[in-house]
Amino acid sequence: MLVGIAGVGAGTATADTVIDTIPVGADPSDVAMTPNGSRAYVTNISGDSVSVIDTGTNMVVDTVTVGDFPLGVAITPNGSRAYVANFLDDSVSVIDTGTNTVVDTVTVGDGPDGVAISPFGTRAYVANSNDGSVSVIDTGTNSVVDTVAVGNVPVGVAISPFGTRAYVTNISGDSVSVIDTGTNTVVDTVTVGDGPDGVAISRFGTRAYVTNFSEDSVSVIDTGTNSVVDTIPVGDGPRGVAISPFGTRVYVANSLGDSVSVIDTGTNSVVDTIPVGDGPDGVAISPFGTRAYVVNTGGSTVSVIAIDRCVGSLCIDIGSFAGGGSTGSGGTGSLAGAGSLAGGGSAGSAGS
């Protein structure tokens, strides 16, 4: 049985599959989506730019020049700004999503990589991989208000749905630093697998999923105890990770396996493996959970995956909302990239 939502027409439900491939800039790294799903922002490492995708047409509609070697990207919850970490010039470019122009540049630590924004949009947390720190940016003034020492080579960051904790992956320390965002101090360190990279937090904040690049696994952290409660084998070289809006699936980009592993969060087991492009890295899921956008670094493309919305014989068809809409200039924030309610945040590293 297939159910139409809000009067939108029905269609035929299928398994998760790639339905489109979008050429973007050179060596894309990360992706963040706006909360209305109308735009996807993709960082291009070698192009020093951000490609803006209209998800209604799956075409690049704008290209924004940013700093040197852009890696992570996140969008504010009100959608007005995109924050881009520029690895080689130790800065964050602030993009006005209404005009797709850079309106500010914030100097941060050495080698910024992953970035996440608090659920209320007041702070951006930037992992500085070369100096073992996290820069805390006040988004009202676009100035660094705190610097938090974390582990060895921090690359990924995600923030809990209520904004009280930031989880930072330390790729050379095989650990995750847990930051109390009220005091901006590390309150716990969790040992995970070899080469932790991407991190995403579940819808209600009870679990953090961490990709371990060097051992082809995902560590599942119970955020109540900050202990690893499960380890899931995935594909080769996992990096980016994102959680579906309803929290039932985790999507993991396997950069050396050219695939995406789909994890059932009820069983913590892989239920599907989807072939994508060359060297997948960042991944983001649309607000309605109908599409996953996967950045393929080696192929300079983005794979668009149609997500199966069936539970048994009951299927939900979002129809024209499946692509996230085609109106607006992007101006709504990537809750997924911010590690909040819409799916936890990808915030994986690229080129680390």
Between the CA of residue 32 and those of 12, 77, 124, 246, what are the distances in Å? Answer: 28, 12, 14, 18
Share of residues in the chain with pLDDT > 90 (%): 83
Strand partners, 188: 178
Q: Which fold has domain 2-321?
A: Methylamine Dehydrogenase; Chain H (2.130.10)
Does pTM top 0.75 for this prediction? yes
The pLDDT-based confidence of 314 (bands split at 50, 70, 90) is low
The pLDDT-based confidence of 189 (bands split at 50, 70, 90) is very high
Which tokens in the block code for residue 42?
A: 């993709």
Long-range contact set of residues 41-44: C-beta below 8 Å, sequence gap at least 24: 41/73, 41/75, 41/82, 41/95, 41/97, 41/330, 41/334, 42/73, 42/282, 42/293, 42/295, 42/302, 43/70, 43/71, 43/72, 43/73, 43/84, 43/282, 43/350, 44/70, 44/300
Instruction: Examine the pLDDT at 318 and tell me if it is beyond 80.
Output: no
Where do the structural domains in the chain lie, given as residue ranges? 2-321
What three-state secondary structure class fits 320?
helix
Q: What's the confidence (pLDDT) of residue 308?
A: 84
Average pLDDT over residues 241-253: 97
The 10s digit of each residue's pLDDT in 25-56 is 999 999 999 999 999 999 999 999 999 999 99
Instruction: Examine the pLDDT at 69 and tell me if it is beyond 80.
Output: yes
Q: DSSP secondary-structure letter at 352?
A: -
The DSSP secondary structure of 257-287, one letter per residue, reads TTEEEEEETTTTEEEEEEE-SSSEEEEEE-T
